[in-house]
Each structure stands twice: as structure tokens, then as C-alpha cells.
Amino acid sequence: TSITSAKIQVNGVHLHYQQTGEGSHAVLLLPGMLGSGQTDFGPQLQSMNKQLFTVVAWDPRGYGKSIPPSRDFPPDFFERDAKDAVDLMQALKFKKFSLLGWSDGGITALIAAARYPNLIHKLVVWGTNASVTQEDVRIYNGIRDVSKWSEKVKKPLEELYGHKYFAETCEAWVDGISRFAENSDGNICQQLLPDIKCPTFIIHGEKDPLVPQAHAEYIHKHIKGSRLLLMPEGKHNLHLRFAKDFNREVENFLR
């Protein structure tokens, strides 16, 4: 089945998305910082079961091809993304759907599942966190300067955005997410976790250099009945590096 690309107006912005498959179970893929469907979810768009699933990957506002507007990071940017994501799926006429959120997209997915329980069927998150510690702030500052990134990670993003937008947005993201560390317990959405009632699957790479494992364990502990899978060789992008294993685990959970 081919992958179609389109834009749809949601909450005053034109959001870009890709869609594939004709299954009755709709699934939304939520990308990470600076991410888009194109850069973050190639193996999922190509290889997830298209008879069982209709797969949608979106570009949050200011990311990927959902520019304009330029990306900004007000205090409620995750809440804004969660509303945009849910409203996008409703605009596409999906009554109920599952969420697959990576990294920042995982935070967005946690908020959406808590805020819109009647719309979310199942939830999968990986490489994600519900709070920001001082240790996290140190890690984020380590990736602030994109010129220090590996060529492999940097290249697709520079091609997508141009160097200036890529570099400036990354810096703005570090400032934006670091602000959560000032909240009590560094809270982003910890208080919402008990409100998540849908079946939830948390995956974490034991070698993730960006998100310490304690975050995955915290989310698992506070979402009742959730399942946690640790991948010993997984890093932050485990869904790309171990796409076959990842897709299999996720499809089995979603069935």
C-alpha cells in the first residue's frame, strides 16, 4: 500500500501527515524533538501490518512540513501538541485510535491518553519521561549545539530544515524542556499518569543515552496495569535500529 501525504487545517494551523494501510485499527505515530513522520518513522510506515492497521504519522506544528508556524516552546507546548494530535485524528474521521509516541511524542501521547480517555484505544511509549531532573537538564545541554551531533543523525534534519532553523529550534527546545525542572519534582505530566486507563505498553532501551531508565520505571509504576519491556541493546532510537523486533512487539500488543 502506498504512503499518502497531505495537510489538514487543525486549530488554526495546517498540519502535515502521512497515512498508509486500510486496517480498522487506526494508529497515530508521534515523533520526537524536531521530528516528523518522514524522519522518525520510516520502518513503521513501510512495514507495519497494513491489513490490520491504518497508520498515520504527523508532523507537530513547527516541525517537518507543518511549517508555518515556526516552532516555539511556551510552557504548555506538550498540552498544545496533545490537543493538536487528537484533533487531527478527529478531523481525519477516526473515532477511536491508538497512540505510539517516541521521546517528546511519548510525553504528548501520555497527556492525550489521560485527557481524552474515550478516544484512545491503546498506548505505546518509548524513550520518554514524565518529569525533568537536573541530570536530564545536563543531558539536554549536551545536545544543545547541533554541530556536535553525529553526521548520521544531523544530516536528515539539516536537509529537512536548513541549518539555521534546525540549530535555533534545538536550542529553543533545550530551554523549553529545561524549564520543567523548575516545577516541583520537575513535573511535566506525572499527575496525569493515574488517569490513563487504556492498555499501556512502555518500551525502554537500556543503553538510551538521552532518557535514563528510571523514567520508564516511574511511568510503568504509575499507570495501572501497564507493561514494561526493557531492550538490553536498545538506545534512544530503538524503533529504527531494531525495527523488526519493535514492530513485532507493538503489533502483538495492539492486536
Task: Count the alpha carbons within 13 Å of 102 in the hemisphere toward its beta carbon.
Answer: 28
Q: Which of these, 120, 116, 128, lies nearest to 32 by C-alpha position?
A: 128
The confidence score (pLDDT) of residue 50 equals 97
Dump pLDDT digits (tens) for 136-166.
Answer: 999 999 999 999 999 999 999 999 999 999 9
**Angle at Cα 109 formed by Cα 251 and Cα 217, nearest 5°?**
80
Residue 38: C-alpha distances to residues 3, 32, 91, 107 (Å): 11, 12, 21, 20
The confidence score (pLDDT) of residue 219 equals 98
Class of domain 3-130+190-254: alpha beta
Task: Count the alpha carbons within 13 Å of 216 in the hemisphere toward its beta carbon.
Answer: 24
Helix-then-strand count for the chain, H and E: 10, 8
Dump pLDDT digits (tens) for 9-36.
Answer: 999 999 999 999 999 999 999 999 999 9
What percent of the chain is predicted at pLDDT more than 70?
Answer: 100
The confidence score (pLDDT) of residue 245 equals 98
Tell me if residue 103 is catalytic.
Answer: yes
**Angle at Cα 93 formed by Cα 22 and Cα 27, nearest 5°?**
50
The confidence score (pLDDT) of residue 40 equals 97
Q: Which of these, 37, 28, 129, lies nearest to 86 by C-alpha position?
A: 28
Grid coordinates belonging to 18: 502521512
Sheet architecture: strand order including 4-10: 4-10, 13-20, 53-59, 25-30, 97-102, 120-126, 200-205, 227-231
The confidence score (pLDDT) of residue 200 equals 98
Tell me if residue 226 is catalytic.
Answer: no
The confidence score (pLDDT) of residue 34 equals 97
The catalytic position among 208, 215, 226, 239 is: 208
- Domain segments of the chain: what residues? 3-130+190-254
The catalytic position among 36, 66, 98, 103 is: 103
Tell me if residue 195 is catalytic.
Answer: no
204: helix, coil or strand?
strand
The confidence score (pLDDT) of residue 68 equals 97
Axis-axis angle for helices 77-91, 104-115 (nearest 10) = 70
Return the exposure string of 232-253: e unless at least 16 CB atoms fall within 10 Å of the residue's CB, then b.
Answer: eebbbbbbbebbebbbebbbeb
Per-residue pLDDT for 1 more than 80?
no
Dump pLDDT digits (tens) for 180-213.
Answer: 999 999 999 999 999 999 999 999 999 999 999 9
The catalytic position among 16, 25, 204, 236 is: 236
The confidence score (pLDDT) of residue 154 equals 94
The confidence score (pLDDT) of residue 140 equals 98
Q: Quick one: pLDDT band at residue 67, thresholds 50, 70, 90?
A: very high
The confidence score (pLDDT) of residue 214 equals 98
At 205, phi and psi to the nearest 5?
-85, 125
Question: What average pLDDT does this structure show over 224-246?
Answer: 98
85 near 112, Cβ under 8 Å? yes
The confidence score (pLDDT) of residue 44 equals 98
